[in-house]
């Protein structure tokens, strides 16, 4: 199996390197990653300037762009052939609920999925790498199971792994996306030059962590696997809009 690896934390990420070290024992790995942290970049793609690609001592391809740029370049020119699987991560912190709309980690996986490639975004819940080894082994087992029992269609999975020792993880659950309240207020600051600047505020508190959600699984120390789709259409609203809309 050939796996393309990317992330949104950049080429020096501890989670990236640990994941690559483990997966390299079971698959052929190609790494195409951004040169700097791109958290919150979603599916942003660079159109205003050309992109450069350099290699580090591990032969990682490093792009001066976004996670989506990395995967897009890999799919459209950097690779001799398309990979069998794309994995984005391991992210330093959770991507739960509406995080999937903002996350560069999920964005990279989503870009590959739009090319028809099975894709996984994987995140370690809570900041820090204290339980990185169990997370890499769980991911390894998931990939091994995909090799042994491949899905018959492409997929986009958002995986969150509890930041806990292996003995404290209760299993794996397929989940749906939970919900958050709106984001908290931005904060205003004055610079030494008397310029007003703003920092984006923290994410909103959880509003739905009912049974079956990713939030619920994580709160009970289960690995959460949420299957995602590109189509955001609310199908039940189509007829309502057609009846509501005025004649043009």
188 within 8 A of 144, measured Cβ to Cβ: no
pLDDT at position 227: 98
pLDDT on residue 248: 65
Q: What is the pTM of this model?
A: 0.94
Q: Which CATH number fits domain 2-179+206-244: 3.40.1210.10, 3.40.190.10, 3.40.30.10, 2.60.40.10?
A: 3.40.1210.10
* Annotation: binding site for a divalent metal cation: 8-9, 39, 91
**Which residues, at least 6 apart from 172, have a Cβ–Cβ distance to it below 8 Å?**
138, 142, 222, 223, 224, 225
Q: Tokens 């942003």 sit at which residue?
A: 44
Cβ-Cβ contacts under 8 Å for 36 (sequence gap 6 or more): 10
> Per-residue pLDDT tens for 8-40?
999 999 999 999 999 999 999 999 999 999 999
Tell me how far apart the alpha carbons of residues 162 and 154 are, in angstroms, rounded to a whole number: 26
Residue 76 has pLDDT above 90, yes or no: yes
- Choose among 77, 78, 221, 69: nearest CA to 88: 69
User: Which residues participate in the annotated binding site?
Assistant: 8-9, 39, 91
Segments in the chain forming alpha helices (H): 14-23, 67-73, 99-102, 104-114, 132-148, 214-219, 238-244
User: Which residues face 174 on adjacent strands?
Assistant: 225
- For residue range 135-159, list pLDDT tens digits in order: 999 999 999 999 999 988 999 999 9
Q: Is the confidence at residue 82, as pLDDT, over 80?
A: yes
Condensed to tens digits (0 to 9), the pLDDT of residues 219-229 reads 999 999 999 99
Q: Kindly list the domain boundaries of the chain, sorted by start residue.
A: 2-179+206-244
Confidence of residue 246 (pLDDT cuts 50, 70, 90): confident
User: Nearest-CA neighbor of 61 among 123, 16, 23?
Assistant: 16
Does residue 90 have a cis bond before it (omega within 30 degrees)? yes
């Amino acid at each position: 199996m050939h796996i393309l690896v990317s992330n949104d934390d950049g080429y020096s990420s501890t989670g990236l390197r640990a994941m690559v070290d483990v997966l390299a024992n079971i698959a052929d790995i190609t790494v195409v990653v951004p040169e700097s942290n791109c958290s919150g970049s979603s599916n942003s793609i660079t159109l205003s300037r050309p992109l450069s690609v350099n290699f580090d001592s591990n032969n990682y391809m490093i792009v001066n762009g976004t996670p989506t740029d990395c995967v897009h370049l890999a799919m459209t020119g950097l690779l001799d052939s398309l990979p069998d699987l794309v994995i984005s991560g391991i992210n330093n912190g959770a991507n739960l609920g509406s995080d999937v709309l903002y996350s560069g980690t999920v964005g990279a996986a989503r870009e590959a999925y739009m090319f028809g490639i099975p894709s996984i975004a994987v995140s370690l819940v809570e900041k820090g790498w204290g339980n990185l080894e169990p997370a890499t082994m769980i991911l390894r087992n998931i990939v091994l199971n995909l090799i042994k029992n491949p899905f018959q269609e492409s997929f986009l999975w958002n995986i969150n792994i509890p930041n806990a020792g292996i003995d404290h993880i209760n299993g794996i659950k397929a989940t749906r996306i939970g919900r958050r309240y709106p984001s908290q207020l931005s904060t205003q600051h004055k610079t030494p030059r008397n310029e007003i600047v703003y920092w984006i505020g923290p994410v909103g508190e959880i509003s739905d962590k009912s049974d079956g959600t990713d939030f619920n699984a994580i709160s009970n120390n289960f690995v959460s696997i949420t299957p995602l789709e590109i189509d955001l259409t609310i199908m039940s609203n189509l007829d309502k809009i057609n009846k509501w809309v005025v004649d043009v």
